[in-house]
Amino acid sequence: MNHVTIIGTVTAKPETRVELQKLLSAQVGPTRQETGCINYDFHVDATDPCVFVFYENWRSQQDLDAHMDMPHLTALFSQVDRLLASPVNIRYLKMHSEIM
C-alpha cells in the first residue's frame, strides 16, 4: 500500500487557543468522510494546551491534496495568520512496520 501518513502540528496563540480548538475540532467529522481518508485523529499536547496535533493516514497523495482544497477548511485557512503562534508543521512519515 502506498498510503500517505502525516503528523500536522498547529500551535495557537494563547489568546486564540479556544477559538482555534473549536475550528480544528470542526474539521474532524467532514474530513473522516472524505474519499481516501483512512484515519484523521485530533490531539492536544499533554503538557501544552496551545499545541494541537493531527495524525492522518490517506490512501494516496492525491487524496491528501484533495483534502487540502476542501471547502470546510476555508474558514480555518483564512484565519491562520491571526490564530497561530507559528507556521503549521507537517511531517511526512513512511511506515516500516507491517499493517495489521
**Within a domain: 47:** yes
Summarize pLDDT for 19-73 with one digit per residue, the tens: 999 999 999 999 999 999 999 999 999 999 999 999 999 999 999 999 999 998 8
User: Which grid cell is 47?
Assistant: 503538557
Task: CATH number of the domain at 59, please.
Answer: 3.30.70.100
The number of beta carbons lying within 10 Å of the beta carbon of residue 26 is: 13
**pTM listed for this prediction:** 0.91
**Within a domain: 100:** no
CA angle 10, 60, 54 (to 5 degrees): 20
**Within a domain: 98:** no
**Within a domain: 97:** no
**Within a domain: 11:** yes
**Within a domain: 21:** yes
In angstroms, rounded to a whole number, what is the distance separating the alpha carbons of residues 37 and 59? 6
In angstroms, rounded to a whole number, what is the distance separating the alpha carbons of residues 22 and 43? 12
Question: 29 lies in which domain range?
Answer: 4-91
* Total domains, the chain: 1
